[in-house]
């Protein structure tokens, strides 16, 4: 192509924005550096880049792609509008990966863009979940129609984004693109990718990717099964190697595999084998965080290969230690009799163990929650526990049931972030539930227990510096910033213009001094805790008996666990679970050989 033709080529702007959401004071949650990178943004960037490479808008239209994560980048709508204006509004703004709590903010971003005549589309779990489980007008979807924002439900591979871009360049975006009944395969699909300019805004230059999608389980609080489907789909080892090499070429080798349960991925072994090869043969220093279920240790070689593949942290969907609560949520696959075996298997590899724990099941009270947290601290070798409030997320069975019955739920979608209380509880008032949620963090991350966690780390080979970063994050996110660790970052950024519409704009002479004072206090508190833990860790490392440290959580599983552990005796559900195990053992081992119930 001649230089003249190249100059005359039209430029189509494809702007991908991952919205944040508002804090309790109405300010956008934004950081200097974020901790968890956005997989949705990386996935859409990879697909859009493939569209550009294939010239889906024709040889005379170039596609310029830009990704913005609002959790670490200020969205200047006035500047965006001007960029589109000088380009004749040729392009589209895609609001990607929008969860229910981000939906109000996404609409606030879309509104001035649409008023300026810019094409806007929105996708993610909120739109997909609502169109999957509810009617077409449910949960404020009508706002998109009123604004002229195109709704995209489903996944964008296999040419679905091609169609959106072609419609946008023609000025004919459809009101709805619904692919929920036709989920694409992942083998050979464009791999998630973000340029280093984006990844540099995440702490540690890390990125994320999904090696698989879909889940066969039926947890009633989960949206994944109704958005990504119950049939599991996977990337190949070749796909994973491609994305690792793409990222390593720009100096990035730390990855969060976002599969809700990587152990269920049927390609897990071939992927791990390829990652092991890349680490041991090619010298790529791959570091991984993965999510797994509580039965992953039963898969032959899974835990051991995780270590060789570069796994340093594992997040486990523990959810609760009361089997009655697990049954209520249709999470029957979790067996509390396996919790200790599973956690000790990870500990044997020196891998940091993190777990999610849900508060607000029907039988929960502040007293039972306090009791259960103390049991976990004493008897389970977990390095970190993340607390979530049971939330009827749009797209889940729980939400659909309440919605159909007309049960009152919080009308403000901004609060559906797993931290706020969105519906009534049978045994706790809203105030009691809110209080025990905040208290739960201080109970688990007490100074004494964090010292215990460091002692366990020294005894099991867990890297102390990595654990300290986890502990500082989890111990300060709620107390200092009022946000969950999954929304946390390094140095909170605010701007008066980013306050939620409808709330009074604060006087800059009041806003900025308060912001500076708050920032100094928060930084000081976090640095102080970090230094205290570092000093604790150094003292432990100097102890010649540090490797010999032992407590109840690190004690190997024993035959008498079913009568000595509170985990297996303090609830009726636990007693029933142990009785079931014994019954199975008796049928499986008629000779009377007892199998440990831990």
User: Taken in order 64, 67, 73, 75, is the CA torsion positive or negative?
Assistant: positive
d(CA 11, CA 149): 22
Residue 521 DSSP SS3? helix
237-261 b/e (C-beta count within 10 Å ≥ 16 → b): bebbbbbbebbbeeebbbbbbbbbb
301: left (phi over 0), alpha (psi -120 to 50) or beta: left
| Residue 271 in this model has a pLDDT that exceeds 90 | yes
For 274, the token pair is 């390829």
d(CA 335, CA 337): 5
d(CA 166, CA 555): 61
- Give the model's pLDDT for residue 211: 95
- Give the model's pLDDT for residue 592: 46
Candidates 563, 534, 557; CA nearest to 347 is 557
Candidates 392, 407, 297, 282; CA nearest to 349 is 297
592: left (phi over 0), alpha (psi -120 to 50) or beta: left
- pLDDT tens-digit series, residues 48-93: 999 999 999 999 999 999 999 999 999 999 999 999 999 999 999 9
> For residues 500, 503, 507 and 512, what is the CA-based torsion angle, rounded to 10 degrees?
-40
- pLDDT tens-digit series, residues 347-368: 999 999 999 999 999 999 999 9
- pLDDT tens-digit series, residues 442-464: 999 999 999 999 999 999 999 99
- Give the model's pLDDT for residue 595: 38
Candidates 587, 577, 567; CA nearest to 333 is 577
| Residue 593 in this model has a pLDDT that exceeds 90 | no
| Residue 433 in this model has a pLDDT that exceeds 50 | yes
Chain center to CA of 479: 20
Pair 246, 238: CB distance under 8 Å: no
Give Cβ neighbours of residue 280 (< 8 Å, ≥ 6 apart): 308
Give Cβ neighbours of residue 404 (< 8 Å, ≥ 6 apart): none
- Give the model's pLDDT for residue 565: 84
For 468, the token pair is 């300290």
- Give the model's pLDDT for residue 329: 64
- pLDDT tens-digit series, residues 497-513: 999 999 999 999 999 99
d(CA 186, CA 16): 21
Reported as type and span, the H/E element at residue 122 is strand 119-123
First and final C-alpha spacing in the chain = 69
d(CA 375, CA 388): 18
By CB atoms closer than 10 A (0-12, 13-18, 19+), residue 6 is exposed
Count of other CB atoms within 10 angstroms of residue 52: 17
Tell me the mean pLDDT in the region 270-295.
96
| Residue 282 in this model has a pLDDT that exceeds 90 | yes
| Residue 2 in this model has a pLDDT that exceeds 90 | no
Give Cβ neighbours of residue 446 (< 8 Å, ≥ 6 apart): none
Count of other CB atoms within 10 angstroms of residue 438: 14
Tell me the mean pLDDT in the region 238-261.
96
| Residue 588 in this model has a pLDDT that exceeds 70 | no
Chain center to CA of 240: 20
Helices (H), 77-159: 77-86, 103-115, 125-133, 142-147
Residue 338 is classified by DSSP as G
- Give the model's pLDDT for residue 5: 45
By CB atoms closer than 10 A (0-12, 13-18, 19+), residue 2 is exposed
Tell me the mean pLDDT in the region 11-33.
97
For 348, the token pair is 């044997």
For 190, the token pair is 């464009």
Tell me the mean pLDDT in the region 237-251.
97
Reported residue count of the chain is 598
Q: What does the angle CA 389 – CA 391 – CA 397 come to, to the nearest 5 degrees? A: 140
- pLDDT tens-digit series, residues 536-584: 999 999 999 999 999 999 999 887 776 778 888 877 676 666 665 555 5
Tell me the mean pLDDT in the region 240-251.
97
Residue corresponding to tokens 């007293």: 367
| Residue 1 in this model has a pLDDT that exceeds 60 | no
What would you measure as the largest C-alpha separation in the chain, in angstroms? 87
What pTM does this model have? 0.92
Residue corresponding to tokens 């000088």: 86
Q: In what order do the strands lie in the sheet with 352-359?
A: 206-209, 254-257, 287-292, 311-319, 352-359, 384-389
Candidates 287, 436, 307; CA nearest to 360 is 436
Pair 209, 40: CB distance under 8 Å: no
| Residue 171 in this model has a pLDDT that exceeds 90 | yes
Half-sphere exposure of 22 (CA within 13 A, CB side): 23
């Amino acid at each position: 192509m001649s230089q003249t033709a190249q100059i005359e080529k039209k430029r189509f702007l494809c702007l991908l924005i991952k919205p944040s959401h508002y804090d309790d004071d109405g300010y956008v949650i934004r950081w200097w550096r974020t901790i968890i990178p956005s997989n949705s943004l990386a996935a859409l960037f990879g697909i859009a880049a493939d569209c550009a490479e294939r010239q889906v808008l024709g040889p005379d239209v170039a596609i310029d792609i830009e990704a913005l994560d609002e959790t670490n980048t200020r969205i200047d709508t006035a500047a965006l509008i001007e960029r589109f204006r000088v380009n004749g509004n040729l392009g589209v703004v895609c609001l990607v990966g929008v969860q229910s709590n981000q939906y109000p903010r996404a609409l606030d971003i879309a509104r001035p863009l649409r008023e300026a005549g810019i094409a806007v589309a929105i996708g993610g779990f909120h739109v997909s979940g609502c169109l999957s489980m509810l009617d077409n007008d449910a949960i404020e979807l009508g706002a998109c129609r009123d604004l002229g924002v195109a709704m995209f439900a489903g996944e964008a591979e296999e040419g679905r984004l091609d169609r959106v871009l072609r419609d946008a360049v023609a000025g004919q975006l459809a009101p709805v693109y619904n692919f929920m009944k036709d989920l694409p395969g992942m083998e050979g699909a464009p791999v998630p990718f973000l340029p280093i300019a984006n990844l540099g805004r995440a702490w540690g230059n890390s990125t994320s990717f999904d090696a698989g999608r879909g889940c066969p389980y039926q947890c009633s609080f989960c949206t994944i099964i109704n958005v990504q489907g119950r049939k599991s789909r996977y990337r190949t080892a070749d796909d994973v190697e491609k994305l690792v090499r793409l990222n390593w070429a720009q100096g990035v080798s730390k990855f969060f595999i976002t599969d809700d349960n990587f152990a269920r991925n049927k390609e897990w072994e071939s992927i791990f084998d390829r990652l092991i090869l890349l680490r041991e043969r090619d010298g790529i220093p791959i570091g991984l965080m993965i999510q797994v279920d509580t039965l992953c240790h039963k898969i032959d070689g899974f835990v051991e290969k995780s270590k060789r593949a570069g796994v340093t942290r594992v997040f486990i969907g523990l959810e609760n230690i009361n089997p009655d609560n697990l049954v209520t949520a249709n999470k029957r696959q979790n067996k509390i009799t396996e919790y200790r075996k599973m956690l000790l298997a990870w500990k044997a590899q020196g891998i940091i163990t993190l777990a999610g724990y849900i508060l607000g099941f029907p039988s929960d009270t502040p007293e039972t929650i306090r009791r259960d947290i103390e049991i976990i601290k004493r008897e389970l070798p977990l390095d970190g526990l993340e607390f979530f409030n049971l939330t009827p997320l749009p797209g889940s069975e729980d939400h659909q049931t309440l919605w159909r019955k007309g049960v009152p739920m919080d009308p403000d979608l901004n609060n559906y972030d797993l931290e706020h209380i969105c519906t009534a509880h049978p045994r706790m008032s809203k105030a009691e539930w809110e209080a025990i949620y905040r208290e739960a963090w201080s109970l688990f991350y007490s100074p004494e227990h964090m010292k215990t966690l460091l002692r366990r780390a020294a005894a099991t080979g867990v890297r102390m510096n990595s654990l300290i970063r986890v502990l500082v994050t989890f111990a300060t996110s709620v107390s200092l910033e009022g946000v969950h660790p999954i929304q946390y970052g390094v140095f909170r950024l605010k701007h008066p213009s980013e306050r939620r519409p409808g709330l009074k704009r604060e006087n800059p002479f009041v806003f900025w001094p308060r912001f500076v004072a708050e920032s100094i206090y928060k930084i000081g508190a976090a640095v102080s805790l970090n230094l205290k833990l570092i000093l604790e860790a150094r003292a432990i490392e100097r102890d010649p008996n540090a490797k010999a440290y032992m407590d109840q959580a690190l004690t190997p599983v024993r035959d008498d666990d079913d009568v000595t552990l509170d985990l297996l005796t303090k609830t009726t559900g636990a007693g029933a679970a142990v009785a079931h195990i014994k019954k199975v053992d008796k049928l499986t081992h008629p000779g009377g050989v007892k199998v440990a119930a831990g």
